[in-house]
Amino acid sequence: MATYVLVHGGGHGGWCYQPVARLLRAAGHEVHAPTLTGVGERSHLASPTVDLELHIQDVVAVLHYEDLRDVILVGHSYGGMVITGVADRAADRVGRLVYLDAANPVNGQSLLDVAGPIIEATRPHGQVVDGVELVLLPAPGAGAFYGVTDPADLAWMDDRLTGHPWRCFEQPLTLTNEEALWAIPQYHIVCTSTLATRDAELMETAHAAGRLWEIDTGHDLMITEPRAVADALHEVAAV
């Protein structure tokens, strides 16, 4: 049995992993899908203090208080920023890192550095609410921005997507334990549509090591192709 901690991306919450989590649990695995502060069911906690570092602390706390070890730590999209920071802070608790169509940052980079044009494009459509600049604001059919096309999935997302504090996207990632961090095996599950935009050397290295899976679907692949994602995560656990 493996232990998975699934970290969501911007504007989402742990809810987005429900289809994948059901499949992993049915196979006997332990699954945690925490929601980061200020989004999802924790959107009422949005404040000017919510940033990348706080989100890293959110997940480090889950590992500590649930006493989780040898975790398969998965991050989707912005969640790639978070899991990299978590593995830096709690390397002794992380057995594998999985980047699920995610940002692949290095020390000193923000999400703006990693995916600038896409992220910058969201800012003009945001708004300040109670002193917090929020982007990725929900709207009918907003799931289409994440590559979701099924009407039922879009309706499900309409009820759950929330705005995301902009500060999270512009704060640089600070790494202090890089030797231990980069010793953790890394795996990549990517969408065909985003593969060409990724670091070619990183992808080639992952492919050569048998640590790259490609799924031909939209960016929210945990919603659009949960079976394919769960199968890939099963394979990661079996390595």
Looking only at the bridges linking them, the beta strands covering 186-191 and 71-76 are unpaired
Active site residues: 77
C-beta separation of 224 from 217 below 8 A: yes
For residues 5 and 73, the answer to whether their CB atoms sit within 8 Å is yes
Listed in sequence order, the residues at least 6 apart from 2 whose beta carbon sits closer than 8 Å to its beta carbon are 29, 30, 72, 237
Cα separation, 183 vs 96, in Å, equals 10
